[in-house]
Structure 1
């Protein structure tokens, strides 16, 4: 059971124990009766809020909600008077807002992150997934016995990253949330086994790939959690019958959890340094931290020596994790997603692309199901037809849509017609000028486990991705282990 606490930014000016004596700080003018009265209202409201949390812990939902409503009304009244009350310091209210969220993490039975993640139910009506586990609260909010809310410092860089996620990066955050919900049944158990918070997993994934399983960076990092090949091999990721398991959501989450726990041991459970190691390299972070187990990521001797990418990366991950835990507290509402896993046995041959066309926007998915189907079937070429009788994985809610839309009727016929369309090529195309870096000579390269087209071009230092793709007639830059590529030589 979880209790939703819908606090909005307008209420945050008046929160938790603003303490009767906070107006008499040293060096300040004596408090006025009106200011003392205002702080008295805040104190009453904060005690009401804490009482609501207590009632929630005791399981009295009705009384808890009543106490919460009364406390929020009191908070509204007090916050509205701050601007007109001489001596009232709004900045103190913002500081208390942060304290409120940390209090909620440590006091409430449920957690906004868990509730908005969605608690699925089995056909028998029993709760399944992380939200249905007795230790779910602990798993989400603790990292090796430490409250996650106490490990995330609400400093300038994290606040700036929060603003980015809520503004320019907001579409990426929402996409990451939806993608994660459909893969949650595969990824979250790996983190749970490793005793790591789900919020951190979401934060890393949101920043690394946005939940796109087949993402590949310019440097060759691959998968939803963007492992470099050598690091992936170290943690059990590699080739499985020609498939790069960095693209497998469950395997990637397992390896990521192992890596993060390794770095947490090295850096004395310092989450910020461990995340910096994941992004900037553990060797570099060990040299910078040295034998200082308590050194801060923001210590100039560390922070100033890092790349701008790493200085931005760590706060961005922490900010995404914080929003995962407290979406409504930042005027953010993630969509409800039914992430229960399902599968279908194909009644007719079809590719993932064809299924995307015939499913349309079933289940109110305006962007279509291509990304989700790819994420849930990472080993399949989306353009390759799978034979009748093959098993494909999809959200359980789509099983009925498949049966009604993709087996018979006009949509599968239309999808197949579009998929099999032939694009004519000019019979006598004029020769194009070769790139300056290429000559008439070519060389052969056999694809190795972990290779991508980008990494091969970077390794050979000649030609271009487009040129190699065209010479070898590659569709969507797809390559396979053991394939021999023709690579234009360098001058």
Structure 2
């Protein structure tokens, strides 16, 4: 279909050339016409750059490549058409560019069809440190092959359980699938290299991420598994995850979690005879159980009844759902899926004034993203609590779009001030307190500056500091620890420590009684 479209466009360009007469080309060219002709040449050059970038996307298997290449071709057609009508425009040059790019597109597609699968031995031979660190990487690379060649498809069973999982992802769980894809694209540059270096396919990474957390790095399960790849504390410690010197739990860090996950999976694959399904079962249901079942069954696969029935229902659901998400990731067109376009080019922004992630979310708006940018900011900056102001001068990880919106709307101006007002709004300030009933006559009282007086006598009394009392507060619906701390003038960490609350979630429940220790208001 793409080649047919290219042929048709090439034919149209040739017809346009035939319509240009020699006298038209020979006419005198004014300065205005020359400027207009130069605009057409610049338009063609921009379309050429866009087309070349699209070819790179196509070569990398990115579905956006086809859309971009078609759009670039349309831009070139517009440039050629305008050039044909513009006096003094070098139409032959533009058509030569058009022809050269069309040939490049055909050659690239032909080369892609004839390309042989890559060998991963060279990668590991060139990186002895990697081979020493993960000796199973070479075996996994041979097993799973090049993800662009869909070798993952051949290593798992596309059976009714997986098909039922695909049905669930495409019906009631479609919003979670799309959210997972958007979140993954923003973190892809952090996570995918860790799987790639260890010879594991990207589809497996996406499938696990989608099922475990929907790509939310601060996800915490009822059992205590945390982070985008949902590591339990003990397992995380085995692979270098947990509280660091600052108190941050690195299970929430996407790069560290991906590295630990890939190493863990390679460990399972090595000891479970390269069985992908059984390795996923171990990831969810416990490596000890997976090893025992594998040994007792004589090496039978996960779908054998003697193996399958020894895993809990959660694991029997988990394995096909991960494979189903991975399958859709590899074959979106097969199921009529168009994944959202995500502007995920990594960038940084430096805060020019203190702001919380909540405040940034408000002032950034949602240009280019229906749901706004809170999740992207939280995923890329997992060390920061969403409500706590981050000091000015802090450099945050972001995308190019987020950085651009920040400079436009959040450094100063009306929207920045509105965002500040919204995130610091105190619900209690909306309550109108009733005045005291009745009148009390107190006589003539002359207050003396700097000292306290009694209303009864008007006599000056020495000022005494008020004894600090530890008050309490009952958590209301919608309250967060950050808002409570701001409302009562408390240090967030001190308030959390006094009530046994742990970062970064500071989870509260409605009706919970908090000690307002060290609070000023």
Q: Do the aligned residues in 1 keep the contact of 2:57 with 2:65 (CA within 8 Å)?
A: no
Q: Give 3-state SS (helix, strand or coil) of 1:290's partner.
A: helix
Q: Do the aligned residues in 1 keep the contact of 2:191 with 2:255 (CA within 8 Å)?
A: yes
CA distance in 1, matches of 2:286, 2:251: 18
Question: Displacement, 1:303?
Answer: 0.8
State the partner residue of 2:219: 215
C-alpha offsets along residues 397-422 of structure 1, whole Å, 9 cap, x if unaligned?
Answer: 22221111111211110011111112
Distance 1:352 1:334, change over 3 A: same
Q: Give 3-state SS (helix, strand or coil) of 2:338's partner.
A: coil
Within the candidate set 403, 406, 414, 1:402 is matched to: 406
Paired residues for 1:150-169 under 5 Å: 150-169=154-173
Paired residues for 1:426-445 under 5 Å: none
TM-score (norm 2): 0.58
Q: Give 3-state SS (helix, strand or coil) of 1:358's partner.
A: helix
Distance 1:220 1:453, change over 3 A: farther
State the partner residue of 2:333: 328
Q: Do the aligned residues in 1 keep the contact of 2:473 with 2:513 (CA within 8 Å)?
A: no
Unaligned stretches of 5+ residues in structure 1: 6-60, 67-108, 122-130, 433-443, 455-464, 475-491
State the partner residue of 2:62: 115
Question: Displacement, 1:381?
Answer: 1.1
Question: Displacement, 1:471?
Answer: 2.5
Question: Displacement, 1:393?
Answer: 1.3
Q: Do the aligned residues in 1 keep the contact of 2:229 with 2:261 (CA within 8 Å)?
A: yes
CA distance in 1, matches of 2:420, 2:322: 41
Q: Does 1:256 align with 2:256?
A: no
Q: Do the aligned residues in 2 keep the contact of 1:110 with 1:137 (CA within 8 Å)?
A: no
State the partner residue of 1:383: 387
Q: Do the aligned residues in 2 keep the contact of 1:143 with 1:197 (CA within 8 Å)?
A: no
CA distance in 2, matches of 1:400, 1:187: 24
CA distance in 1, matches of 2:394, 2:338: 38
State the partner residue of 2:300: 295
Between stretches 291-300 and 399-408, larger displacement belongs to: 291-300
- Quote the RMSD (CA, aligned, Å): 3.7
C-alpha offsets along residues 449-477 of structure 1, whole Å, 9 cap, x if unaligned?
Answer: 999778xxxxxxxxxx6379533569xxx
Q: After the TM superposition, which segments of 4 or more aligned residues of structure 1 sit over 3 Å from their partners?
A: 61-66, 109-114, 116-119, 134-139, 291-294, 425-432, 444-454, 467-470
CA distance in 2, matches of 1:450, 1:289: 39
Question: Displacement, 1:386?
Answer: 1.5
Q: Give 3-state SS (helix, strand or coil) of 1:393's partner.
A: strand
State the partner residue of 1:309: 314
Q: Do the aligned residues in 2 keep the contact of 1:244 with 1:449 (CA within 8 Å)?
A: no
Question: Displacement, 1:338?
Answer: 2.2
Distance 1:412 1:278, change over 3 A: same
State the partner residue of 1:392: 396
Q: Give 3-state SS (helix, strand or coil) of 1:375's partner.
A: helix
CA distance in 2, matches of 1:431, 1:236: 39
Q: Flag the structure with more relative contact order, 1 or 2, with Cα contacts below 8 A and sequence separation at least 6.
A: 1
CA distance in 1, matches of 2:513, 2:116: 53
Distance 1:473 1:195, change over 3 A: farther
State the partner residue of 1:238: 242
Question: Displacement, 1:288?
Answer: 1.2
Paired residues for 1:26-105 under 5 Å: 62=3
Question: Displacement, 1:216?
Answer: 0.3
C-alpha offsets along residues 68-120 of structure 1, whole Å, 9 cap, x if unaligned?
Answer: xxxxxxxxxxxxxxxxxxxxxxxxxxxxxxxxxxxxxxxxx99899413879x
State the partner residue of 2:421: 417
C-alpha offsets along residues 424-447 of structure 1, whole Å, 9 cap, x if unaligned?
Answer: 299999999xxxxxxxxxxx9997
Q: Do the aligned residues in 2 keep the contact of 1:374 with 1:382 (CA within 8 Å)?
A: yes
Distance 1:473 1:290, change over 3 A: farther
Give the number of the structure whose alpha-carbon radius of gyration is greater: 2
Q: Do the aligned residues in 2 keep the contact of 1:229 with 1:450 (CA within 8 Å)?
A: no
Question: Displacement, 1:144?
Answer: 3.0
CA distance in 1, matches of 2:278, 2:308: 10
